[in-house]
Structure formats: C-alpha cells, structure tokens
Amino acid sequence: MDEIYLNGKFIKKSDAQISIMDRGFLFGDGVYELIPVYNNKIFLLQKHLERLKNSLSLIGMKFIYGLEDTIEKLISINDKKNYFIYLHITRGQQVKRNHVYPKSIVPTVLIMCEEYPTYNQEQITAGFSACVQEDFRWLKSNIKSISLLGNVLLKNLAHMGGFYETLLIRNNKLTEGSASNVFTVKDSKIYTPRLSNELLPGVTRDLLIDLLKDHDMKVIESDISHQDLLDSDEVWCSSSTNAVVPIVRVEDAVIGSGKTGDISLLTHKITKEFIRDY
C-alpha cells in the first residue's frame, strides 16, 4: 500500500514531495474522489469519474484523461484485496502565493490506496447514534472539494461526543451528514434530501436509490425538516466507505423502536449482494 502515483510517476509514499507553493496546500484549491476496491476490482469507477469531471468543471478545471489506466495499474501492484483509491487533484503550483491563478498552470495529481474501517453485521444490526448541528459549510457542497475544514470540524464534533455522524440542518432542512448522505423512513416510505448545491451527489446514494427501485421500493427525494428527521421510523447514512450505517438514536431522541429497522437491514443486505456480485 506504500506505492502511490504522483504527477506522472509511481513512487513510494515516503518519497512523495509536493511544493509548498501548490494551491491545494495554500488554498485548498482542488477536488477529490474516494473509490472502493472490492476483491481487486474497482467499484463504480465511471460514476466516480463522472462526478470528478463535474467537480473539476465547477471550479474551472479541465478533466484529466488517462486516470482510469493509472488507477488500474496502481491496483495491479497492490497486494491488498479490499481498500479505497484516493484521487486528489489540485490546480497546481505557482511562483507566488496569490488568490488569482494563472491561465497556464499544471495540475497536481495524486492517487493512492487507503484503508478505512468498515462495519460488520453485528454492528449494523445494533445501529449507531448521531448528533445534529447547523450546516455552516459553504454553499457549494455539491463540489467534492479538498477544502474540508467544515466537514472535519463537524465529524470531530461527532467523534468527541461518541456519535458516528453529525447530521446537518440548514434553514430547518436536513442536508446531509458531515461525511455521508442521509436516508429516512416513515410509514414504510423512504426519503432522502433532494439534490442541490447544499449537498454532495453521492455515488452510493444513487446506487441505493437504484437498488431499492429494483426491489419495488421508491425513494422520495424531498425536503426533510429537523422534526421529520426525529420522527422517522428509520434513519441511515450512506457513503463510499460504508454504504448503509443505521442510526437508531439522534442525540436524546430514539429513532423508531431504537433498533435497526427492517428496511435499513434489507438495504444493507441488497447492497452487500450487489457488491459481492459486481
């Protein structure tokens, strides 16, 4: 897992060097993707690359072709079976620190393999807890930006409080978690916040919507109020690292029965089966 790709070369992570004048370092000027690898096979790569292309376009950068071949080569020299590809592109480096970037600038491209904790069936069945905070992040959360200070503060708030995730509310509407999309269930109907500039268009979010549709369960994309969230029968978070993480308590409020619900368990099951057969 020590082998990485940086600006055209495969090198050891310990040998990697990036200029202090890189705009990613100085301004957080760049975007990224996190892509699962299951049993040595890259998962939903084209979906992630499509989102990357969109993020780059939204910050005025061109898509970089050839990333797929580079990722495949990195996978071929890796001795692990299950992990994640972290793909990080900054606008590049310039001679002087300046908010204004030059028209001609070469992007910095980093691709490396990372391992993150995943949850077993016992943990999924038991469920997790979450806290709630006002969504104070910037208003272009649909861009998968490397500028993650707001998300970092909110995720650490959850961690310090013993929660799995911080669920975010803006103008009395649920947006997402600090590092996840959110689904709720009420009276057997499944809901998720409608896409906008206030939340990330999650690849796993889209996958779950499609899988549930294939099992004759419609997901309603709509506004979800703070009270709607607390009154839900079931809640789960979704991300590339853990597709379905049931939330059975939001601070002092018990969600539904206080146990992982049937729809959450079914969604977890069909997603695991899809990943297994991919």
Q: Would you please indicate which residues are annotated as catalytic (active-site) residues?
A: 32, 144, 176, 200
Compute the half-sphere exposure of residue 203: CA atoms within 13 Å on the CB side of its CA: 20
Closest CA to 209 of 222, 198, 197: 222
How many whole angstroms separate alpha carbon 267 and alpha carbon 219? 12
Q: What residue type is assigned to position 216 of the chain?
A: D
Residue that is written with structure tokens 């889209």 in the block: 206
Cβ 179 vs Cβ 239: under 8 Å: yes
Residue that is written with structure tokens 């650490």 in the block: 156
Residue that is written with structure tokens 């601070």 in the block: 251
Sorted by sequence, the CB contacts under 8 Å of residue 146 that are 6+ apart come out as 24, 28, 29, 30, 31, 32, 88, 90
Secondary structure (DSSP) of 107-149: PEEEEEEE------HHHHHH-EEEEEEE--S-S-TTS-BS--H
Q: Interior CA angle at 161 toward 155 and 165, to 5°?
A: 35
Maximum pairwise Cα distance, the chain: 59
Helices (H) and strands (E) in the chain, counts: 8, 15
